[in-house]
Each structure stands twice: as structure tokens, then as C-alpha cells.
Amino acid sequence: KYDDVWKTASAVLHRQGIVEFEDKAHGKMGVKVGGSNVKFKLEQATPKSVVVRVQSRRVWNKFPNMSLSRKIYSMIMKETGYTRGP
């Protein structure tokens, strides 16, 4: 699952903006989307589940951009075919 989600997230984030850094070993990616900085984090919670976190900030990294975070998270989940629940 980790590799599947990573591949999908990487594809989505490359389409959405400019990838500034990508570290698969630590599950982190930084992307510039428009005027916002997006931080993506992927963690292996259990052998069968992963935790996906998407944060975005705009205007000098002071203000959260919740709508962009939700949009990117939704795109990743939709393309992986996974849901939040068991």
C-alpha cells in the first residue's frame, strides 16, 4: 500500500505544481502550487495501513490554505481508490 499511495501522490503533486523536494524513504514531499507551499507526508501506520497528511500554507507561509489541502488529499485518495475507514 505504501508504494501505491506514494506513486499516486507523486503523480498528483507533479501535475499540480513544482516539486521542490521528494524523499520516499522518509515519506515527505514539498511542492509549490500557485502561491502556496504544500507539504505531503506519508507514514506506514500498520503493515496494512498508511497515514496521509497534506498541509498547505500561503502568503509567506503564515496562513493555512485548507481548501487546497483538501483538494489534493481528495485527488490522492480518489486515484488510489482507498477510503478513510476500514
Rounded distance, CA 26 to CA 15, Å?
21
Q: For 84, list phi and psi in degrees, rounded to 5.
A: -75, -35
Task: Select from 11, 63, 3 the least CA-distant residue to 27.
Answer: 3
Residue-wise pLDDT tens digits, 7-21: 999 999 999 999 999
Query: Per-residue confidence at 59, pLDDT binned at 50, 70, 90?
Result: confident
Of residues 28 and 34, more confidently modeled: 28
pLDDT at 1: 82
The one-letter amino acid code at 20 reads: E
- Other Cβ atoms less than 10 A from the Cβ of 51: the count is 12
